[in-house]
């Protein structure tokens, strides 16, 4: 307040000086080329003082009045006071007018009143109609013995002349220190506003601030575009008390319309208003923040209560409570944005949930209550129905019990049934309290041990082992929309683990299919529920019964056995993109080996030959033929399949090599490189073919 007191004292000194030169005449005109008083300098000062029936009339002008920084130079200054009172102990003007031109403030025509009591070091100033940042303001300052109070208010104005927040920031920036200027660096602000502010202080120290700021079209963004507001109608109330190095504050913010984005959340206040009430303290010397009570209300979507203590970078204590809320409303606004790049990015949710979180002295506790939750992935990858229960998650050593139950769900196209989980949590980990059974189709997955650990660094790890009780291949193939398979799928599941978005199986899975054995080794799956899951494996097939296999796929009848392998198999989004496949008659196969005309015709088409040749030759009179061995190989890379068979032919390669008792026949493939999509189309055509016509 040094500037104000110097200015007021200078005015008072000038007025007192005039008293000394008033004589019996009723007027006095004083012209001074240059006049200096402390931090005030004037050029061509003219003072005209007249005595009227109502008192003294003062008219003064100056070409230049130089005030202390940061106000600076005032040009073309005129001052008028119709009711000037000059007394030995006080000077005041109850109705004055002041005009001047300023480099920043432009042309000003203000009404003012001033009262000076120099003996008591007491000064009062009131200014009306001050044009600032496209608006009109009233200012009041009361200064006494280093104690001061001030008020700043915008005057009601038309929409076309409301105050500009961007221009206000530009106006005050030169008066801020480097740290406070940094708060505005990289931000774009544009808004009209209405302001009411009351300030109290001592010397140069602010002690109390009450602020009411209203905007009707707030637009702002930072340089990176992570925080954006458009046409926001806001009412901001701030009550700040300063005691030495501690700021005690209370704020109330209402956001009534407009839109805002704070990465990654977008909120439309036209659809759902939001309010924030909070109070606490800020210790400036230690950069320590305490939020003793905070309440966020987002319409009927969510209500959050919170407390906080710590620095802006690291919390010491944190408490959050979310009252029971509707997930159908909460998910699209507050959950989905944080799920980008995860399996939870596109869900349909229903039901209610509540949450409480507490962090103190490095330990934390999280409790989530679920009530009739329904989850459906819009990409049909998973779903869970009628989920109920409570999960307590903690970093403390003391164990906590948790329970979940649901009525059903699915994983991709495989449904599962009702189940109940009994859990125990401690030290940021979760284990089964008792073995868990999950019904799957007509069988079940039984988990004996399950361990999950999730650190504060968002690293999740889990592992389990268990048993798969027999599931009929009929039900599984129907669920997967496969050709109808027969038999049972069962086995012991070795340790399955998940870390860094990768599922791995330690050991081999063994599946009994088509009277043979399928062994899956080196199985791993990355980003299983992500947008582009990747599966890797090596697969061995031993002793498959070709008669059962070909009947299942309506390929045409083939009898005998078949061995095979798929090495370096990779599926991307469940589609094959790379493998090295070999299928052939095993060397030790002693079974009867026969192949029908339909199977020969289909194999010819796969190998690039012409279908239906047998039906146009004398061989059409034979229903089937004997063969020595058969086989087909495909090495897939860059959507091209390098084809080969059981042996090389003069032209091409043998898919079926004749042998045994007549009639015998050879099937030769001619295409060495086949476009993978084209090969898939051939296989589809084969599966839909009715086979050769025998006449």
For 29-87, give the DSSP string.
EEEEEEEEETTEEEEEEEEEEEEETTEEEEEEEEEEEEPSTTT-EEEEEEEEEEEEEE-
Question: What are the tokens at 381?
Answer: 């990858």
End-to-end CA distance of the chain: 113
Residue 327: CB atoms within 10 A of its CB come to 21
The mean pLDDT value of the chain amounts to 85
Say if residue 492's pLDDT is above 80: no
Distance of CA 377 to the CA centre of its chain: 19
Q: What are phi and psi of 7, to 5 degrees?
A: -60, -50
Confidence band of 488 (pLDDT split at 50, 70, 90):
confident
Question: What is the β-pairing status of strands 135-144 and 265-268?
Answer: unpaired
- The pLDDT assigned to 2 comes to 46
Residue whose structure tokens are 């979507």 = 301
Cα Rg, the chain, nearest whole Å: 43
Say if residue 237's pLDDT is above 70: yes
The answer to whether the peptide bond before residue 70 is cis (omega within 30 degrees of 0) is yes
Question: What are the tokens at 641?
Answer: 């399949």
Confidence band of 124 (pLDDT split at 50, 70, 90):
very high
Burial class (CB in 10 A: 0-12, 13-18, 19+), 300: exposed
pLDDT per residue as tens digits for the range 635-669: 999 889 999 999 998 888 999 988 766 777 788 88
Q: Is the distance from CB of 220 to CB of 229 less than 8 angstroms?
A: yes
CA angle 430, 431, 435 (to 5 degrees): 150
Say if residue 455's pLDDT is above 70: no
Helices (H), 376-526: 473-479
Exposed e or buried b per residue across 59-72, where buried means at least 16 C-beta atoms within 10 angstroms of its C-beta: bbbbebbbbeeebe
pTM > 0.75: no
Give CA–CA dist 69/60, Å, rounded: 23
Least confident of 51-65, 177-191, 285-299, 572-586: 177-191
Give CA–CA dist 618/595, Å, rounded: 17
Give CA–CA dist 632/106, Å, rounded: 90
Question: Can you count the helices (H) and strands (E) in the chain?
Answer: 8, 45
| CA dist list (Å): 262 to 221, 225, 227, 333, 479 | 10, 9, 5, 12, 43
Least confident of 249-263, 297-311, 391-405: 391-405
- The pLDDT assigned to 513 comes to 76
Q: Taking residues 26-54, what's their average pLDDT?
A: 86
For the chain, the residue count is: 695
Give CA–CA dist 655/629, Å, rounded: 8
- The pLDDT assigned to 22 comes to 43
Q: Give percent of the chain above pLDDT 90.
A: 44
Question: Helices 676-688 and 597-606: crossing angle, nearest 10°?
Answer: 160
Burial class (CB in 10 A: 0-12, 13-18, 19+), 476: buried
pLDDT per residue as tens digits for the range 163-172: 888 888 888 8
Distance of CA 115 to the CA centre of its chain: 57
Residue 627: closest CA among 586, 662, 582, 598: 662
How many Cα neighbours within 13 Å face the side chain of 302?
A: 20
- The pLDDT assigned to 483 comes to 67
Say if residue 112's pLDDT is above 60: yes
Which conformational region is residue 428 in: left (phi greater than 0), alpha (psi within -120 to 50 degrees), or beta?
Answer: left
In DSSP terms, which residues pair with 459 in a beta bridge? none
- The pLDDT assigned to 98 comes to 94
Task: For residue 527, give every residue at least 6 positions away whose Cβ sits within 8 Å of its Cβ, in sequence order, or none.
Answer: 501, 502, 533, 534
- The pLDDT assigned to 285 comes to 85
Give CA–CA dist 348/338, Å, rounded: 15
For 640-678, give the DSSP string.
EEEEEESEE-SSSEEEEEE-SSSSB--EEE--SEEEHHH
Say if residue 113's pLDDT is above 60: yes
| Element housing 18 (H / E) | helix 2-19
Residue 177: CB atoms within 10 A of its CB come to 7
Q: Is the distance from CB of 601 to CB of 616 less than 8 angstroms?
A: no
- The pLDDT assigned to 327 comes to 96
Q: Taking residues 670-689, what's their average pLDDT?
A: 75
Task: For residue 316, give every residue at least 6 positions away whose Cβ sits within 8 Å of its Cβ, in sequence order, or none.
Answer: 309, 310, 360, 361
pLDDT per residue as tens digits for the range 511-525: 777 888 888 888 889
Q: Taking residues 159-179, what's their average pLDDT?
A: 76
């Amino acid at each position: 307040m040094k500037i104000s007191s110097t200015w007021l004292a200078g005015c008072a000194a000038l007025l007192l000086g005039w008293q000394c030169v008033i004589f019996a005449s009723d007027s006095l005109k004083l012209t001074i080329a240059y006049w200096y008083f402390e931090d005030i300098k004037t050029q061509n000062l003219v003072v005209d003082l007249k005595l009227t029936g109502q008192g003294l009339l003062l008219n003064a002008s100056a070409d230049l009045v130089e005030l202390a920084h940061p106000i600076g130079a005032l040009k073309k200054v005129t001052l008028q006071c119709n009711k000037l009172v000059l007394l030995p102990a006080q000077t005041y003007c109850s109705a004055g007018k002041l005009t001047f031109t300023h480099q920043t403030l432009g042309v000003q025509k203000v009404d003012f009143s001033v009262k000076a009591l120099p003996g008591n070091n007491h000064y009062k100033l009131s200014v009306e109609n001050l044009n600032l940042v496209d608006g009109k303001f009233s200012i009041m300052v009361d200064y006494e013995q280093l104690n001061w109070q001030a008020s700043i208010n915008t005057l009601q104005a038309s929409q076309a002349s409301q105050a500009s927040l961007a221009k206000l920031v530009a106006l005050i920036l030169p008066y801020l220190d480097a740290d406070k200027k940094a708060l505005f660096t990289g931000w774009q602000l544009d808004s009209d506003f209405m302001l009411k502010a009351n300030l109290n202080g001592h010397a140069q120290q602010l002690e109390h601030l009450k602020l009411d700021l209203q905007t009707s079209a707030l637009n702002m963004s930072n340089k990176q575009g992570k925080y954006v507001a458009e046409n926001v109608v806001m009412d901001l109330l701030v009550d700040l008390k300063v005691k030495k190095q501690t700021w005690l504050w209370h704020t109330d913010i209402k956001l009534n319309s407009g839109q805002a984005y704070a990465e990654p959340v977008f909120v439309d206040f036209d659809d759902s208003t939001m309010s924030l009430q909070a109070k606490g303290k800020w210790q400036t010397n230690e950069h320590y923040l305490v939020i003793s009570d905070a309440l966020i209300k987002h319409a009927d979507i969510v209500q959050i209560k919170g407390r906080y203590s710590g620095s802006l970078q690291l919390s010491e204590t944190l408490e959050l409570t979310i009252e029971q809320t509707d997930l159908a409303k909460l998910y699209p606004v507050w959950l989905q944005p944080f799920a980008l790049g995860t399996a939870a990015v596109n869900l349909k949710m229903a039901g209610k949930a509540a949450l409480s979180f507490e962090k103190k002295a490095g330990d934390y506790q999280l409790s989530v209550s679920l009530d009739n939750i329904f989850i459906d992935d819009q990409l049909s990858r998973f779903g869970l129905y009628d989920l109920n229960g409570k999960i307590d998650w903690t970093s403390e050593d003391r164990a906590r019990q948790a329970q979940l139950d649901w009525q059903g769900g699915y994983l991709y196209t495989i449904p599962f049934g009702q189940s109940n989980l009994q859990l125990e949590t401690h030290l940021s980990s979760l284990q089964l309290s008792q073995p868990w059974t999950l019904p799957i189709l007509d069988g079940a997955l039984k988990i004996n041990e399950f361990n999950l650990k999730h650190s504060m660094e968002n690293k999740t790890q889990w592992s389990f082992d268990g048993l798969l009780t027999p599931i009929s291949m009929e039900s599984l193939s129907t669920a997967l929309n496969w050709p109808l398979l027969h038999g049972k799928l069962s086995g012991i599941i070795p340790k399955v683990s998940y870390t860094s978005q990768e599922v791995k199986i330690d050991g081999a899975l063994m599946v009994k299919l088509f009277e043979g054995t399928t062994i899956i080794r080196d199985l791993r799956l990355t980003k299983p529920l992500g947008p582009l899951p990747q599966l890797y494996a090596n697969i061995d097939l031993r002793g498959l019964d070709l008669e059962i296999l070909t009947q299942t796929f309506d390929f045409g009848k083939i009898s005998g056995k078949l061995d095979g392998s798929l090495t370096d198999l990779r599926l991307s989004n469940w589609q094959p993109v790379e493998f090295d496949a070999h299928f052939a008659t095993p060397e030790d196969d002693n079974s009867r080996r026969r192949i029908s005309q339909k199977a020969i015709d289909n194999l010819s088409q796969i190998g690039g030959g012409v279908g239906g040749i047998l039906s146009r030759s004398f061989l059409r009179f034979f229903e089937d033929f004997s063969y020595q061995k058969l086989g087909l190989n495909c090495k897939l890379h860059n959507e091209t399949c390098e084809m080969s068979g059981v042996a090389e032919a003069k032209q091409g390669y043998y898919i079926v090599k004749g042998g045994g008792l007549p009639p015998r026949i050879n099937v030769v493939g001619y295409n060495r490189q086949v476009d993978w999509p084209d090969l898939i189309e051939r296989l589809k055509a084969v599966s839909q073919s009715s086979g050769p016509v025998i006449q």
